[in-house]
Chain A
Amino acid sequence: MIIAEKKPIEEIIQEVKDFDRILILGCNECVTVCEAGGKKEVEVLASVLRMYFMAQGQEKTIGERTLERQCDHEYLEEIRNIIDDYDAVVSLACGVGVQFAAEKYLTTPLLPGVNTICLGANEDRGLWTERCQACGTCVLARTGGICPVSRCAKRVLNGPCGGSTNGKCEISKDTDCAWQLIIDRLKALDKMDDYEKVAPVKDWSTDRAGGPRTVIREDVKI
């Protein structure tokens, strides 16, 4: 899922201070799971903003709404009849949701309430870690299900490099060497022969280097 982090409250206050009617718009998907932009976070942010501006002697209208998703037309349409009641929207969705809402409602300023971090897993309570960089050409089949693109600092495809010590990466003693994990996993799978095969040059044109990406599926189009 997409992992996001709440923006500092000071930054949000700074962004919204010039607007009188503000809608806090949450998203029920990834940002709810990583506790950055769901219904609960919408309630907290709205309450905090109301109190802050009240204490400053400013009367502002702070609305709350949480959509099923902000990356889909049908759910974003749900706010069409209320969007004109507000001068600005603080979207607690990931960068995708903020942009999609901004494209849909051209005349309303859309402000991000979270920082979108990565595609990751919910490893433990309060711990989210990156697992995928959406490079567009998956190599997991030959790396024992462990991604060298997202988990190796150098994105080495035939590793490990010389910076791997005792299973840790040279960038930090807390970061596992992805290639150590790959070797351990290939050993467990009894597939160490695969490790000997040199990986071909990867097609990076499907990565961000090739510009914004699009998926077109004629078979599911209506």
Chain B
Amino acid sequence: MRLKIPTDFRIVRLPCTGKIDIIHILRAFEKGADGLYVVGCMEGDCHFNEGNFQARKRVEQAAGILDKIGVGGERVKMYNLSSGEGPLFAQYSMEMVNKIKELGPSPVKLAKQRMQKKADAA
């Protein structure tokens, strides 16, 4: 298809979105990610029946936690599409990247950078 997608994100492949856990999402933010989105199969089309529903629950839980600690729950999102929807994948990636650019860097990332600068100066 040779579709254009932003270069600002890294793809982490999973056997099924049901494999994702809250800690994976939190660790990404802890390591400095500004946003994260999970792309699962269409609801009702999961090969393992409910993997994508479980993923959605975990994404929502992670969003709740990120909201509570001031990082912002809107930085995580779950999308669903079928494997044949390449253009939609490209559209979702642009949508998410634009949204994260609008929100700006994550407060955790900024704090890490400040700490690093302080450590370098010392």
- Tell whether, in the assembled complex, residue B114 and residue A44 are in contact, meaning their CB atoms are under 8 Å apart: no
- Tell whether, in the assembled complex, residue B68 and residue A9 are in contact, meaning their CB atoms are under 8 Å apart: yes
Tell me the minimal C-beta distance from A208 to chain B in angstroms: 35
Contact (A57, B114) CB under 8 Å given A43-B23, A44-B22, A48-B26: yes
B111 on the interface (CB 8 Å rule)? yes
- Tell whether, in the assembled complex, residue A51 and residue B29 are in contact, meaning their CB atoms are under 8 Å apart: yes
* Alpha-carbon distance A52/B107, docked complex (angstroms): 9
- Tell whether, in the assembled complex, residue B71 and residue A51 are in contact, meaning their CB atoms are under 8 Å apart: yes
- Tell whether, in the assembled complex, residue B23 and residue A51 are in contact, meaning their CB atoms are under 8 Å apart: no
* Alpha-carbon distance A181/B70, docked complex (angstroms): 48
List CB contacts (< 8 Å) of A29-66 with chain B. 40, 43-44, 47-48, 50-52, 54-57, 59
- Residues on A with C-beta less than 8 A from B22 are 44
A219 on the interface (CB 8 Å rule)? no
A-B contact count (CB 8 A): 43
- Residues on A with C-beta less than 8 A from B23 are 40, 43-44, 47
Tell me the minimal C-beta distance from B57 to chain A in angstroms: 10
- Name, among A10, A43, A54, A59, the residue most crowded by chain B CB atoms within 10 Å (CB to CB): A54
- Name, among A51, A52, A56, A57, the residue most crowded by chain B CB atoms within 10 Å (CB to CB): A51
New A-B contacts (14) at CB < 8 Å, excluding given A51-B29, A51-B30: A10-B68, A13-B69, A40-B21, A43-B23, A47-B23, A47-B26, A48-B26, A51-B69, A54-B115, A55-B70, A55-B71, A55-B107, A56-B70, A57-B111
